[in-house]
C-alpha cells in the first residue's frame, strides 16, 4: 500500500483534476460543489474518520476505496450529516453545512444506500415523497419522465414489493433525483445486483452526472467499478485518506 500523501501532494491532489478514470469528462469543470475541511469523527476511543480534506466539482465522480473498516461509509455519512463530525466541517458550495437545515441539506446532498430502502406503496408514491415534504406536488407526467430516465417506463403504479433488486435500486435513484440534488452520494449501490444490473446502474449514474452536472462520491469495494466510473479515486485506511488522485494512477499503485 502506498505511504501517506505528503502535505504538498495533498494540496495538489485535492484540487479538482481533468484526468479521468477511463471516460470523457467536461474539461470546463471548475465549480467546487462539495468540500471537506479536516473532517473527522470518533466514537469513544474509536477513530472512524481522521482529518480528511477534499474537493469535489460539478460533473465529477470521486470513488472512495479501501479495505473493510477503513472508514469509507463513515466518511460518506458525514457528507450529508447523517452522522455528526467531531471536528472539521463540510462546505456545500461555499457554505458551511451546519448552517443548512438538515431536511434542506439532505435534499441538496442526496444519498443512495447499498440496499434500496423503499416505502411501502407504489413506485410513484416513493418518487413523489421528497418533493411532497416541501409541499411540492409532482405531476404524473413529471414522475413518468423521471421513470423513463432511469429505464423504468410504465412502473409508476407498480408496488415496490414486486420489484427486482436492480429495479428497486433504480427507483431509489429516481427518488433521490426527484429532489434535484447538487451532490449525489452512493454507498456500494450495486453490490447486491447481478452483472447486467450493475452495468445498467453504472451507465445511468454516468449519464446523470453529465446531464445534471452534479458532484458524485461513490463508495465501492470494486476497483474495476472505480476505474469505469471515477475521475479521481481516494484510498482510505484506518479512517485516513492515504492517497487521492487520477483514478488510473491511484489504482495502478495500490
E-state strands within 160-229: 183-187, 215-219
Distance, in Å, from the CA atom of 225 to the CA atom of 203, rounded to the nearest integer, reads 11
What confidence score (pLDDT) does residue 194 get?
85
User: Looking at the domain assignment, is residue 104 inside a domain?
Assistant: yes
Inside any domain, residue 2 = no
Place of cell 419522465: 145
Residue 1 lies in a domain: no
pLDDT reading at 36 higher than 50: yes
Q: What is the pLDDT of residues 165-215, one digit of tens each?
A: 899 999 999 999 999 999 999 999 988 888 888 888 899 999 999 999 999
Q: What pLDDT does residue 168 have? A: 93
Number of separate domains in the chain: 1
Q: What is the reported pLDDT for 197?
A: 85
Classify residue 92: in a domain, yes or no.
yes
> Residue 219 pLDDT > 70, yes or no?
yes
pLDDT of residue 29: 56
Residue ranges making up the domain that contains 94? 7-253
In a domain, 220, yes or no: yes
Predicted confidence at residue 115, as pLDDT, reads: 85
pLDDT digit string (tens) for 9-27? 333 333 344 334 444 445 4
CA-CA distance, 148 to 146, in Å (whole number)?
5
- The three-class DSSP label of residue 217 is strand
- Establish if 218 belongs to a structural domain: yes
Sign of torsion over alpha carbons 68, 74, 80, 82? positive
Chain-centroid distance, C-alpha 71 = 15
Sign of CA dihedral 225, 229, 235, 239: negative
Output the domain CATH number for residue 52: 3.40.50.300
Q: What pLDDT, on the 0 to 100 scale, is given for residue 64?
A: 98
Amino acid at each position: 500500500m502506498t505511504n501517506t500523501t505528503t502535505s504538498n501532494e495533498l494540496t495538489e491532489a485535492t484540487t479538482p483534476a481533468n484526468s479521468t478514470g477511463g471516460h470523457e469528462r467536461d474539461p470546463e469543470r471548475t465549480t467546487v460543489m462539495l468540500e471537506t475541511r479536516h473532517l473527522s469523527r470518533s466514537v469513544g476511543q474509536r477513530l472512524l474518520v481522521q482529518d480528511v480534506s477534499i474537493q469535489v466539482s460539478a460533473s465529477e465522480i470521486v470513488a472512495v476505496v479501501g479495505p473493510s473498516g477503513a472508514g469509507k461509509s463513515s466518511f460518506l455519512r458525514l457528507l450529508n450529516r447523517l452522522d455528526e463530525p467531531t471536528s472539521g466541517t463540510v462546505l456545500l458550495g461555499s457554505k458551511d453545512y451546519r448552517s443548512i437545515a438538515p431536511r434542506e441539506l439532505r435534499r441538496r446532498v442526496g444519498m443512495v444506500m447499498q440496499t434500496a430502502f423503499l416505502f411501502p406503496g407504489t413506485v410513484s408514491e416513493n418518487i413523489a415523497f421528497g418533493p411532497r415534504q416541501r409541499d411540492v406536488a409532482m405531476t404524473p407526467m413529471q414522475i413518468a419522465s423521471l421513470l423513463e430516465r432511469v429505464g423504468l417506463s410504465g412502473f409508476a403504479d407498480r408496488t415496490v414489493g414486486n420489484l427486482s433488486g436492480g429495479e428497486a435500486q433504480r427507483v431509489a435513484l429516481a427518488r433521490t433525483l426527484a429532489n434535484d440534488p447538487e451532490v449525489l452520494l452512493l454507498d456500494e449501490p450495486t453490490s447486491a445486483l447481478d452483472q447486467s444490473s450493475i452495468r445498467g446502474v453504472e451507465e445511468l449514474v454516468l449519464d446523470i452526472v453529465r446531464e445534471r452536472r452534479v458532484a458524485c462520491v461513490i463508495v465501492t469495494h470494486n476497483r474495476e467499478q472505480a476505474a469505469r466510473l471515477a475521475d479521481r479515486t481516494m484510498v482510505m485506511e484506518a479512517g485516513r485518506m492515504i492517497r487521492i488522485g487520477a483514478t488510473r494512477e491511484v489504482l495502478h499503485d495500490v
